[in-house]
Structure 1
Amino acid sequence: MTDQRLYFMLQRAAHQVRVAADRRCLGAAGITSAQLGALFAVREQPGITQQELAHTLGQRESAITSMVTRLVDAGLITKRAHPRQYRAIALDLTSSGKQALDRVRPAIDQFNDEMRAAIGTEAFAATTEALARLDRWFTGKIAG
């Protein structure tokens, strides 16, 4: 029963965190937390392909295609032909995309500070590491 409760609590917490983060991101910069993740990835890896972005975010390519379309329509990223991959599209952050990241940073920093205060600094660090290990484990299981 405890194992099933852990799964339930992870699902519930993930939902609550996503909703709260979306509210803050939308209020600060007019983007969702999922879009924020995509903008961070594009900023960190200029010219990233949609396939690479999907892998980075752990999403299906079809979901990323829709998100990229919304981000292009919003003027936050641009698409261009990839210089080395014939059919791939490279993504880059626009100046508006950079500004959106700058606007949302204080809200995300405050949100992380509030979560750290709610569960304690040590628990926050331990939880972050445990979730990262679970992610690596599942990624390895899927890839292997």
Structure 2
Amino acid sequence: MPDPDDQRLYFLLQRAAHRLRTTADRRCLAAAGVTTAQLGALFAVHDEAGVTQQQLARTLGLRESAVTGLVGRLTAAGLLAKRPHPREHRAVVLELTDAGTDALRAAQPEIDRFNTELREALGDDGFTGAATAMHRLAYWES
């Protein structure tokens, strides 16, 4: 049985992140045919019209090389489209396709269910506190 007094925060964060990611990936793949990493990219493109791959990499906190592969897979799957940037000749602008929009719509109920289950597991205060703490850590600069 795990020790409820375990204070190894980094270890616990890694373990929790892995558990949450694998569970959410399984559910999102079943609901919409995409992983959570792919959904993150689709949501970012949806939320920021005219986003470039470089901007997407910053938004997702990933290296540009990782985003190049991710965008390549999403483009090959027909979920994203690229068009030339209007001012930067080497850059491309990313856009959701109709299939990408459909994938977001298909995933949303599962995302909502997952968040509801997390809120039930943690309680409202615990869920809000965890979200606040994760936001602080995500943008923490040491």
Q: Where in structure 2 are the equivalents of 1:69-84 lying within 5 Å?
A: 69-84=72-87
Instruction: State the shift of 1:4 in Å.
Output: 6.5
Deviating more after overlay: 92-101 vs 80-89: 80-89
Contact 1:28 1:107 in 2 (8 A): yes
SS in 2 for 1:75: coil
Q: Where in structure 2 are the equivalents of 1:41-60 lying within 5 Å?
A: 41-60=44-63
Please, which of 74, 90, 94 is the counterpart of residue 91 of structure 1? 94
| Aligned equivalents of 2:97, 2:6: Cα separation in 1 | 45
Q: TM-score, normalised by structure 2?
A: 0.93
Contact 1:46 1:93 in 2 (8 A): no
**Identical amino acids, percent of aligned pairs:** 57
Counterpart residue type for residue 138 of structure 2: D
Deviating more after overlay: 23-32 vs 79-88: 79-88
Unaligned regions of 5+ residues in structure 1, if any?
none
Counterpart residue type for residue 99 of structure 1: D
| Alignment match, 2:25 | 22
Q: TM-score, normalised by structure 1?
A: 0.92
Number of equivalenced pairs = 138
> More helix per residue: 1 or 2?
1
| Alignment match, 1:6 | 9
**Does residue 126 of the first structure (1) align with residue 108 of the second (2)?**
no
